[in-house]
Amino acid sequence: MPHPLPRPVTLRRAALLVLLCAAFGAPGALAASGTVTVRPGDTLYGLAHRHGLSVARLRALNGLKGNTIRPGQRLRVRGTGTASPVRPPPPAPRPGTYTVRPRDTLSHVAARAGVSVAALRTANRLTGNLIRPGQRLRVPPRGTGLGKVTPRPTTEVRVIYGYVRVRPHEALTTLARRYRTTADHLARLNGLSRAGRDLYPGQRVLVPRRVPVPIPPRPLGRPLAVKKLAPLNVPVRVLRVDLRYRNVLVAPVLPRAGLGVGARVSQLARTSGARAVVNGSYFHPRSYVPAGDLVVQGRLLTWGRIPAALAITPDNRAAILTSTTALLGRPLDATWHGMETVIATGPRILKRGRVVRQYGDVFRDPALFGRAARSAVGLRGNRDLVFVTTHAKLTTTEMGKVMARLGVRDALLLDGGSSAGLAWNGGRALDSVRKVAYGIGVFTDYQGRRYAR
Which of 28-37, 150-159, 325-334 shows the highest mean pLDDT?
150-159
Assigned domain for 39 exists: no
pLDDT at 22: 40
Query: What is residue 359's three-state secondary structure?
Result: coil
Residue 123 has pLDDT above 70, yes or no: yes
pLDDT, averaged across the chain: 86
| 210 and 237 fall within a common domain | no
Residue 114 has pLDDT above 80, yes or no: yes
Residue 327 has pLDDT above 80, yes or no: no
pLDDT at 38: 87
Q: 228 has which bridge partners? A: 237
Q: Which of 147-151, 327-331, 378-382, 396-400 has the lowest mean pLDDT?
A: 147-151
Assigned domain for 76 exists: no
The domain containing residue 111 runs over which residues? 96-139
| 123 and 262 fall within a common domain | no
| 206 and 236 fall within a common domain | no
- Edge-to-edge strands of the sheet including 294-296? 299-302, 294-296, 341-344, 308-312, 318-322
Decide: 323 and 291 in contact? Cβ < 8 Å: no
Separation of alpha carbons 183 and 392, rounded Å: 56
Strands 422-424 and 410-413: unpaired
Residue 436 has pLDDT above 90, yes or no: yes
Whole-prediction pTM = 0.68
Separation of alpha carbons 146 and 430, rounded Å: 62
Separation of alpha carbons 448 and 444, rounded Å: 12
- The full 3-state SS of 172-215, as one line of letters, equals HHHHHHHCCCCHHHHHHHCCCCCHHHCCCCCCEEEEEEEEEEEC
Residue 301 has pLDDT above 50, yes or no: yes
Q: What is the DSSP letter of 85?
A: P
Assigned domain for 106 exists: yes
Burial class (CB in 10 A: 0-12, 13-18, 19+), 65: exposed
pLDDT at 89: 53
Tens digits of per-residue pLDDT, 198-214?
A: 999 999 999 999 999 99
Separation of alpha carbons 93 and 141, rounded Å: 10
pLDDT at 238: 97
| 183 and 276 fall within a common domain | no
Domain end point (choices 109, 139, 169) = 139
Residue 43 has pLDDT above 90, yes or no: no
| 281 and 247 fall within a common domain | yes
How much is the average pLDDT of 59-72?
Answer: 84
Tens digits of per-residue pLDDT, 186-197?
A: 999 999 988 778
pLDDT at 190: 94
Burial class (CB in 10 A: 0-12, 13-18, 19+), 20: exposed
- Edge-to-edge strands of the sheet including 410-413? 224-229, 236-242, 384-394, 372-381, 410-413, 348-351, 354-355
pLDDT at 85: 43
| 120 and 240 fall within a common domain | no
| 186 and 275 fall within a common domain | no
Assigned domain for 49 exists: no
Q: What percent of the chain has pLDDT over 90?
A: 58
Decide: 312 and 320 in contact? Cβ < 8 Å: no
Q: Residue 437 carries which side chain, given as an amino acid letter? A: A
Assigned domain for 44 exists: no
Tens digits of per-residue pLDDT, 210-248?
A: 999 999 999 989 999 999 999 999 999 999 999 999 999
Q: How sure is the predictor about 51, in pLDDT bands with cuts at 50, 70 and 90?
A: confident
Q: How sure is the predictor about 28, in pLDDT bands with cuts at 50, 70 and 90?
A: very low
| 112 and 196 fall within a common domain | no
Residue 26 has pLDDT above 70, yes or no: no
Domain end point (choices 180, 214, 248) = 214
| 209 and 261 fall within a common domain | no
How much is the average pLDDT of 158-172?
Answer: 94
pLDDT at 195: 78
Q: Residue 376 carries which side chain, given as an amino acid letter? A: A
Q: What share of the chain is helix, strand, coil (3-state, %, to 5)?
A: 20, 30, 50
Assigned domain for 64 exists: no
Domain end point (choices 86, 115, 139) = 139
Tens digits of per-residue pLDDT, 74-110?
A: 888 864 443 344 445 555 556 688 999 988 888 889 8
For residue 109, give the CATH number of its domain: 3.10.350.10
Q: 96 has which bridge partners? A: 139
pLDDT at 48: 78
Q: Residue 264 carries which side chain, given as an amino acid letter? A: R
CA 125 from centre of chain:
43
Beta strands in 1-146 (DSSP E): 35-37, 74-76, 96-99, 136-139
pLDDT at 19: 36
CA 398 from centre of chain:
35
Residue 255 has pLDDT above 50, yes or no: yes
Residue 147 has pLDDT above 80, yes or no: no
Residue 281 has pLDDT above 90, yes or no: yes
Q: What is the DSSP letter of 22?
A: H
| 160 and 258 fall within a common domain | no
Assigned domain for 57 exists: no
Decide: 449 and 338 in contact? Cβ < 8 Å: no
pLDDT at 88: 52
Q: Which of 45-49, 58-62, 180-184, 204-208 has the lowest mean pLDDT?
A: 45-49
Assigned domain for 433 exists: yes
Could you count the other beta carbons within 10 Å of the beta carbon of residue 405? 14
| 386 and 408 fall within a common domain | yes
| 305 and 402 fall within a common domain | yes
Beta strands in 297-444 (DSSP E): 299-302, 308-312, 318-322, 341-344, 348-351, 354-355, 372-381, 384-394, 410-413, 422-424, 427-430, 439-443
Tens digits of per-residue pLDDT, 374-414?
A: 999 999 999 999 999 999 999 999 999 999 999 999 999 99
pLDDT at 39: 85
| Residue 347, preceding peptide bond in cis (omega within 30° of 0) | yes
Q: Which of 15-24, 315-324, 342-351, 407-416 has the lowest mean pLDDT?
A: 15-24
Question: How long, in residues, is the chain?
Answer: 453
Query: 160 to each of 210, 215, 344, 448, 451, how far by Cα in Å?
Result: 6, 15, 23, 11, 5
pLDDT at 448: 95
- As for how many domains the chain has, the answer is 3
How much is the average pLDDT of 338-361?
Answer: 94
